[in-house]
Structure 1
């Protein structure tokens, strides 16, 4: 039977989140496979929908628009097209590209301090380029090698432009340049603010990560020869499990370039997710009962907890920060989460969630827990070999 494309298109666009099993019930409309008709005939793919703040009123939407309009500041975009069959050299960079950018910036404010951030391309690091920047009194913000995650162009600008221009074709270089300019100009000022905030956060994260890596490396080196000693360690931790164990991402079918179409947005609540906090401890050959605790409690560092350990002659094993890959109990939480995901009837109430968590905790084979603890020498050894960086665990 020949496919009635318009009818099938209407069905898909009526409900973008229709499951494939439901579409198969419409087999009388199809002459070929479901996937072929979706991908080849209709040109749609199954992708993650975007989420937006839940149930905005017209007044709230108008307030958002007004705020964005007030926040928009004029942005000068200096897009310098490269002539066909021309290579980017230090000569081109210092005689054509940079002068146009610097001239436009100084038209706005002649006394403006200009700091240039660029990557380490050959034309950027050439002696001629450095000499030109010195003569023009332009400060250079050096960029670390092999660090695209610290470059705003790489982690923000280019990704935004690619997203906006995806699926478009251009008949001439001039048309492509105009599209590039418009793509950048269409970015609101608050997006640029987020870019720089993210940049500063990435810098601080890089600094913090280095400190963490040093602590992890030192911690692992001190215990690199441990073997049977791990059998005497009790690993404890708390974790939070939420009602509705779905990952929160809804899939829709759409074409390329339709990501920003409001039809594919999914509204959701942004309040705190309902769930329970649990605490557990495990050791080689045994485990504790699963204990439910109050949300946001900090039992590990509470003064009464430390006093209890001292009174009962329990030695605390210092733990490096941000090191879930070194803790076997993190894998147990993951096992429990997977068991909840695989339930045919997920719990709908907190009481049901507590019951399922206790069952999941008790049903994990002790051999699996012992295997995780036996992996500690390998975890520590891999951490030392990686100079304190994350392991594959």
Structure 2
């Protein structure tokens, strides 16, 4: 009975008359309160493409893959992250109330093997389309400089991964990446509706848990960006390696699920 109330769970067991505090205390020993996860719907075509993707990359050396993505962080954090325990007799802290979360910062990063590339901040007010995305990789962030410093053998074997956002998958962006040598087998094809297959999503989760812990809010875009940078520094190489090494298991899981969503890693 996922997401059921405590009283509904007890009633299903024909147990009545138990106070809410007691019900919750009992349930804490065997369960956790969680919000439903939001995921894009998967149709038959999506599932087939996810299976084809898993079969194609089943024998890939994922230590050679640079997994990339963007994340937006707001001043107030995601909805529902401001809850937590407080002592009896104490009042909950006051939170600032702002429309639309007070704005936010768009962040780009990549992970490969045990290395974090970035994070890099997209210039405020810039909407990522094909041109601005390529300009960002070219000059606004240090991805180009990072790539240039790598050995020729690394460049020959590295695979660049990005999702199917319009700014990524357009003809303009594909042509720009091809001119940089990221084409054909060096540019990973990506199945639709598949954030669960990208290990960098787990990195974003680690960073958001850190910057918004205890209901933290921010008063400026620069302060939330500084928090992202500090949180990223605290993610050690072993944690990143664990994420990138999870890919073999993710592929096997998506095949076992016949293209369906896989458990969280």
- The number of aligned residues is 174
CA distance in 2, matches of 1:295, 1:311: 24
Q: Deviations over 1:285-305 (max 9, x none)?
A: 322121112554143235554
Partner of 1:288: 117
Return the structure number with greater relative CO, CA threshold 8 A, min gap 6: 2
Does the 8 A contact of 2:72 with 2:105 survive in 1? yes
SS in 2 for 1:211: helix
Partner of 1:165: none
In terms of Rg, which structure is larger?
1
SS in 1 for 2:43: helix
Instruction: State the Cα distance separating 1:349 from its structure 2 match.
Output: 1.3
Q: Deviations over 1:126-168 (max 9, x none)?
A: xxxxxxxxxxxxxxxxxxxxxxxxxxxxxxxxxxxxxxxxxxx
Does the 8 A contact of 1:347 with 1:356 survive in 2? no
Partner of 2:208: 337
Instruction: State the Cα distance separating 1:327 from its structure 2 match.
Output: 0.4
Instruction: State the Cα distance separating 1:222 from its structure 2 match.
Output: 1.6
1:220-259 alignment, distance < 5 Å: 220-226=54-60, 229-245=61-77, 247-248=79-80
Instruction: State the Cα distance separating 1:366 from its structure 2 match.
Output: 1.2
TM (normalized to structure 2)?
0.58
Gaps of 5+ in 1: 1-34, 37-204, 252-267
Gaps of 5+ in 2: 1-20, 23-39, 84-96, 134-167
Does the 8 A contact of 1:277 with 1:295 survive in 2? no
SS in 2 for 1:384: helix
Instruction: State the Cα distance separating 1:357 from its structure 2 match.
Output: 0.7
Does the 8 A contact of 1:276 with 1:295 survive in 2? no
* Aligned equivalent of 2:230, options 359, 363, 383: 359
Instruction: State the Cα distance separating 1:211 from its structure 2 match.
Output: 1.6
* Aligned equivalent of 2:49, options 167, 192, 215: 215
Partner of 1:382: 253
Return closer, same or farther for 1:218/1:302 CA change in 2, 3 Å cut-off: closer
SS in 1 for 2:111: strand
Q: Does 1:325 align with 2:159?
A: no
Instruction: State the Cα distance separating 1:250 from its structure 2 match.
Output: 8.2
Q: Deviations over 1:305-338 (max 9, x none)?
A: 4333212212210111111111000000000010
Q: Deviations over 1:205-259 (max 9, x none)?
A: 87x6222111101111122233xx10100001001111112525888xxxxxxxx
Instruction: State the Cα distance separating 1:270 from its structure 2 match.
Output: 6.1
SS in 2 for 1:290: strand
Partner of 1:135: none
Q: Deviations over 1:184-209 (max 9, x none)?
A: xxxxxxxxxxxxxxxxxxxxx87x62
CA distance in 2, matches of 1:307, 1:343: 45
Q: Does 1:307 align with 2:175?
A: yes
Q: What value does the CA root-mean-square deviation take over the aligned residues?
A: 3.0
Return closer, same or farther for 1:224/1:246 CA change in 2, 3 Å cut-off: closer
CA distance in 2, matches of 1:360, 1:250: 18
Does the 8 A contact of 2:75 with 2:101 survive in 1? no
CA distance in 1, matches of 2:170, 2:107: 17
